[in-house]
Chain A
């Protein structure tokens, strides 16, 4: 094997980084492929299981190739309803979860960007007090304040409602702090230029701050959407009716202690369907997401 340094640059190996050997590249790829296999195989196997009949699944070993029941299984789950969760179709669960995840993500972004705007750009009495108040809520995640929050929801009659599912999860110190840090990097001259240009607080927010925060908002949206999608504890507490369940809760309810009671093929279908929306969000917003994390547009 030739030394990389003595190789002529245009020999077809010019993609190599300086100081990298071909063996190193092979090793790196082998490790990456192994990692992908480890992550992807369970998902693939779930998919395989979701295309077989319940009988096939209950009679091991499960084949490694997809079966012929793809359309039937998915149709039954999406529109037919699953027995163990009161005959609610998975379509309803997907809708519920989408509403909750979107509500949490959008709500959190709106609340936190506005509070960060107030804290960074306005001088009012008690500014630092409110800042610390928000900061301290970092120490009070849902799990810690779950009983009082539950009581409040019951008293307000918000059990089994989207509002009850969404609102308690909206307040977010993390997102507020993130926006605050970003706003602090916006030069004071830019704010003053906007003032001289006749932009009031609302115009400045709408025309300057919001477009500049675009990438941050996108990155935050991806993270928060998945956060909302995978919520478990709070939806478990605050929903009783089967048709208000989120998909994660329903998935848990579908599985019985007795194997024979569990419609495994539908469980597999539901699992597959549950991971599709987060994947879509990540894939579609990837470009923005990466830019939001690495680039500051100033």
Chain B
């Protein structure tokens, strides 16, 4: 239905603070683009600029090929789901959903038809006569979604919509949002600070840091080839182990494969490690091998995380299932050559 194109978008607040420092993103039609980053990275500001709730200081924002910098949120034909849902507390669920349509002069019977069919999709039919305060968090979330869907806009904007739900409901709604977005085929921009949400929802993932795009692309590509140490430590849980290298050397490694000359940091993911008490086999093909001392064990059930101290720093190692290892144990940790990441002194991937 619509593409969203951001070209070198900047936001400078009156105080001189630059929240967004030149971001360009092209979101294809029907795609779900997730903006992820730590708080204060400018992701919400960027979303609000697409919505038209913040002015764009420089650059351009185009929806469906048309530059919308100068027009207000109403005319942009977008719908937004807010973090705290922002339902109108004095209106019934029905009126909450109908309000936007009424303001646009939609005929009454058309409003009724659309509200009821949206309510059906979201299983809200029995709640239409209730007021927001009589609903649970999950139901409010659905109403907020319904209010967006019923308008049939060009673009959906989500501002951390799941952050007020409990973990179980969050997982459930995540799947639901994804399915809904697919079946409706509406281009969406979704802001979150939760990397799990970002990974599972995104068609296009944009990792932001300090007002700039750190990396963008398909979620798994970013996971496999993080462009910088920031992305490496932000995407994936627990984060990637990063150990400093000194002039291509690494003191703690018993075996260190060939290292690119300008690499300053070595990275490997906790899930790419192998723990072998007996040496042999994988060491031969140029893998990393280092000795680590277990400091803590976190069994989660399906897997266990070992928090270890290696010579170069602290690392986390994931082992499947339960483990007999205890704090104080020494163990060799291996990581295959192709699972190693190297970053330069500027933090960029080499």
- Does A196 lie within 8 Å of B80, measured CB to CB? yes
Q: Which residues of A contact B230 (CB under 8 A)?
A: none
Contact with B along A124-162 (1 / 0, CB 8 A): 000000000000000000000000000000000000000
A297 to B87, CA, bound (A): 12
Q: Nearest chain-B residue to A193 (Cβ)?
A: B86
Min CB distance, B85 to chain A, in Å? 8
| CB-CB under 8 A for A197 and B103, given A189-B83, A192-B53, A192-B82 | yes
- Does B82 lie within 8 Å of A199, measured CB to CB? no
Query: In which size bucket is the chain B interface?
Result: 20 to 34
Q: Nearest chain-B residue to A197 (Cβ)?
A: B100
A24 within 8 A of B: no
A198 to B51, CA, bound (A): 12
Comparing A28-36, A83-91, A205-213, A224-232, the segment that makes contact with chain B is: A205-213
B260 within 8 A of A: no
- Does A189 lie within 8 Å of B89, measured CB to CB? no
B59 within 8 A of A: no
Which residue of A197, A212, A214, A298 contacts B99 across the interface (Cβ within 8 Å)? Answer: A197
Contact with A along B149-184 (1 / 0, CB 8 A): 001000000000000000000000000000000000
| CB-CB under 8 A for A195 and B72, given A211-B90, A297-B90 | yes
B111 within 8 A of A: no
A207 to B99, CA, bound (A): 9
B74 within 8 A of A: yes
Contact with B along A270-298 (1 / 0, CB 8 A): 00000000000000000000000000011
Q: Which residues of B contact A207 (CB under 8 A)?
A: 88, 99
Which residue of B73, B89, B90, B133 contacts A196 across the interface (Cβ within 8 Å)? Answer: B73
Which residue of A196, A211, A214 contacts B78 across the interface (Cβ within 8 Å)? Answer: A196
Query: In which size bucket is the chain A interface?
Result: 20 to 34
Summed over the interface, the residue pairs from A and B with CB atoms below 8 Å come to a total of 60
Min CB distance, A84 to chain B, in Å? 51
B126 within 8 A of A: no
B246 within 8 A of A: no
- Does B89 lie within 8 Å of A212, measured CB to CB? yes
A200 to B72, CA, bound (A): 10
Q: Which residues of B contact A61 (CB under 8 A)?
A: none
A190 within 8 A of B: yes
- Does B80 lie within 8 Å of A199, measured CB to CB? no
Q: Which residues of B contact A192 (CB under 8 A)?
A: 51, 53, 73, 80, 82, 86
Q: Nearest chain-A residue to B83 (Cβ)?
A: A189
- Does B90 lie within 8 Å of A189, measured CB to CB? no
Min CB distance, A297 to chain B, in Å? 6
- Does B72 lie within 8 Å of A187, measured CB to CB? no
A203 within 8 A of B: yes
Min CB distance, A193 to chain B, in Å? 4
A203 to B84, CA, bound (A): 22
- Does B89 lie within 8 Å of A297, measured CB to CB? yes
Q: Nearest chain-A residue to B78 (Cβ)?
A: A196
Q: Which residues of B contact A211 (CB under 8 A)?
A: 90
| CB-CB under 8 A for A195 and B89, given A189-B83, A207-B99 | no
Could you pull out 5 A-B pairs where Cβ atoms are within 8 angstroms? Answer: A187-B86, A193-B86, A194-B88, A195-B74, A203-B103
Chain B residues proximal to chain A, CB less than 8 Å: 51, 53, 72-74, 78-80, 82-90, 99-100, 103-104, 133, 147, 151
The 10 closest A-B pairs by CB, nearest first: A197-B100, A198-B103, A189-B86, A193-B86, A198-B74, A211-B90, A189-B82, A196-B73, A196-B80, A190-B86
